Amino acid sequence: MHSETPNETHYHYGLIGRAIAYIDSAVEAQPNLDDVARAVGLSPAHFQRLFSQWVGVSPKRYQQYLTLGHARSLLANRFSVLETTLSTGLSSPGRLHDLFVRWEAMSPGEYAAGGAGLHINWGWFDSPFGPLLAMGTARGICGLAFGAEIGAAAAEADLRARWPRAAFHHNPDALHAWVAAALGQSGACNLIMIGSPLQIKVWEALLAIPSGHVTSYSEIARAIGSPRAARAVGTAVGRNPVSWLIPCHRALRKSGELGGYHWGLPVKRALLAWESARLEAR
């Protein structure tokens, strides 16, 4: 992430988010640079420079990643085989993922207690993929949700239901540094996960998928030693409470279809396109 003032960062995340949403909504019509720049209220030259700086590629190139055939291309060219990765211990509790994410699982007792005794801070933030709801304890982020497709109220209710006995406090300042690290893909971001043993295994497998790559639900099932449990794996993928950082959007059907996404398929397409663009720009 380039150096900006906090106000500039806030503004640019919102602006790039609007640009991505516009490109996605009009992807079949293939809007040109002037169309997208006009939609966000900038000159074409200024918008091209800003978009390329944030996403890594031009708006025109980004459009190619939003097409429906992009998922099939990812499966053909950037498929991750997870069994070897997991068996060599490259993904395990405490591992640094993409250099900035450190995670741990809540204890079985905390899981069974439904969050009793936990104090969870929450707040809404701008992101390139629409409004982002973050929740976290003093130990790290425990929930990230996108509200663009399902709405703010539904996103809040969904995450709160994961910890029905916890105490919730509206305190975005307590989460700001972690969210900034997550959005900027730099710094330090701690995650604290709560889930069943199967869910934790599935989420651990998701953490092993590199950015810009994908895998399949059946590959995850095989990697965690339950090759016939693809349906249960799909459910566990969908129950991941920390979107993006635990990348459930990188799990696709073997057919090349996107499959489901808890926070809305347009968001999943935007996430995959963003990561492909960033990988190409490296």
3 state SS of 263: coil
CB 206 within 8 A of CB 221: no
Distance of CA 94 to CAs 100, 106, 160, 162, 193, Å?
11, 12, 25, 22, 12
Which residues, at least 6 apart from 36, have a Cβ–Cβ distance to it below 8 Å?
Answer: 19, 22, 23, 47, 51, 59
189 is catalytic: no
- Amino acid symbol at 38: R
Distance of CA 233 to CAs 155, 197, 248, Å?
22, 12, 11
Rg over CA atoms, the chain: 18
Q: Which of 12, 1, 31 is nearest to 127 (CA)?
A: 12
Q: Which residue has the tokens 């890594």?
A: 56
What are the helix (H) ranges across the chain? 6-25, 33-40, 44-55, 59-65, 70-77, 82-87, 108-112, 152-162, 176-184, 197-207, 217-223, 230-238, 265-281
Point out the catalytic residue in the list 16, 209, 242, 248: 248
User: Hey, which residues are catalytic here?
Assistant: 248
